[in-house]
Amino acid sequence: MRRRIKKYISEELFDIFNIAFMLLLCVATLYPYLNVLAHAFNKGADTARGGLTIYPRVFTLENLRTVLSNDELKQAAIISAARTLTGTLLSILITALAAYALSKRYLPGRGAILVFLTIPMFISGTAVSNFIVMHHLGLLNNFLVYIIPRAFNFFNMIIMRTYFCTIPPSLEESAEIDGASGFLVFARIILPLSLPMLAALSLFTAVGHWNDFFTNLLYIHDHRLNTLQYVLMKIVREHNMMSFINDLRIYQTGRTGEMVPQMTPESIRNAAIIVAVFPIIVVYPFLQKYFINGVIIGEVKE
């Protein structure tokens, strides 16, 4: 009886400790995000007082409205959206085609092709050599510089190839007996069965395109082709922050009668962060269901 009581007490203590630890972990994880939201939706003059935690003291939408009112940012958002959509679709398509071909054991020279594609993972070019290549390809100040260099991803190809190898060959054989071509089998059988994997890789690829500003920094000098992340990076830099605020000419009368900006660098910076991450947060729930669905739909009876 005593052993049972001790066991029950120990289990209860473990549950209490486990719950307390998980709550503490959740608080530590969520606090930075809530703090950014609080700064983004709090009045700039009040933010300057400090002491802001996880909720805005003086709620306002002026910070977001100020960031979104920038014409350059609007153009950059269109470029980023076009780049993310086009780049993701092209990358997934090309990578999936390569993975499907390399998943076939009867492909001539399959081992040599895999070795050839593996080499760039260990030996890659420098920023200078890449710049020279882009220059000779005519991709400088060209929208395609966002798309073409990322059109094939070897790591994603390995994941897709491994996944395609798990699909029963009987499905393809039955379709080929019915007269389906290789492209038809790929489009009507392989891709629909691979939606969970393709959704996950599409999300990773889209996030990579959306968050990238280094390509813009190296190869684009035309402001009409700037991406959203690059423009936001310029806004949050300290020596550009006040000039950005001054250009908007948003002031209020201070206590001594002087005109002071309604916005502060901290409020603008956090509002810019919200603008940058919001599209990904919106898209993620629509793709999450594919992560928990079954890998293969249907069954094959031998």
Task: Find the CATH number of the domain harbouring 153.
Answer: 1.10.3720.10
Among 49-53, 77-81, 240-244, 272-276, which range has the highest average pLDDT?
Answer: 77-81
| 134 within some domain | yes
What mean pLDDT do residues 21-38 have? 87
Domain-terminating residue out of 161, 180, 210: 210
| 93 and 142 share one domain | yes
39-87 residue pLDDT tens = 888 887 777 777 777 878 888 888 888 777 778 888 888 999 999 999 9
| 139 and 120 share one domain | yes
pLDDT at 5 over 80: no
| Cβ neighbours for 97, distance < 8 A, ≥ 6 positions apart | 186
pLDDT of residue 146: 93
| Cβ neighbours for 87, distance < 8 A, ≥ 6 positions apart | 146, 147, 150, 151, 205, 209
pLDDT of residue 239: 47
pLDDT, greater one: 59 or 246: 59
| Percentage with pLDDT > 70 across the chain | 83
Gap between the Cα atoms of 232 and 281, Å rounded: 18
Predicted confidence band of residue 127 (pLDDT cuts 50, 70, 90):
confident
| 297 within some domain | no
- Which of the 8 DSSP states describes residue 60? -
pLDDT of residue 249: 47
Cα distances from 156 to residues 30, 106, 153, 159, 169, in angstroms, run: 30, 22, 5, 5, 22
| 239 within some domain | yes
pLDDT, greater one: 291 or 86: 86
Neighbouring C-alpha atoms within 13 Å toward the C-beta of 85: 8
| Structural domain for 154, as ranges | 75-210
Predicted confidence band of residue 254 (pLDDT cuts 50, 70, 90):
very low
| 259 and 235 share one domain | yes
| 220 within some domain | no
pLDDT of residue 47: 76
| 126 and 8 share one domain | no
Q: Of the candidates 205, 281, 269, which has an alpha carbon nearest to the alpha carbon of residue 233?
A: 269
| 190 and 94 share one domain | yes
| 217 within some domain | no
| 50 and 171 share one domain | no
What mean pLDDT do residues 16-32 have? 88
| 150 within some domain | yes
Give the residues across from 34 on adjacent strands: none
| 55 and 143 share one domain | no
pLDDT of residue 241: 54
pLDDT of residue 299: 40
| 221 within some domain | no
Predicted confidence band of residue 243 (pLDDT cuts 50, 70, 90):
low
Predicted confidence band of residue 244 (pLDDT cuts 50, 70, 90):
low
pLDDT of residue 228: 87
What mean pLDDT do residues 89-107 have? 90
Domain-terminating residue out of 175, 210, 245: 210
pLDDT of residue 91: 94
167-206 residue pLDDT tens = 888 888 888 887 778 788 888 888 888 888 888 888 889 9
Gap between the Cα atoms of 30 and 44, Å rounded: 23
Work out how many domains the chain is built from and give that number.
2
| 302 within some domain | no
Which tokens sit at 273?
């962060």
Mean of per-residue pLDDT scores for the chain: 80
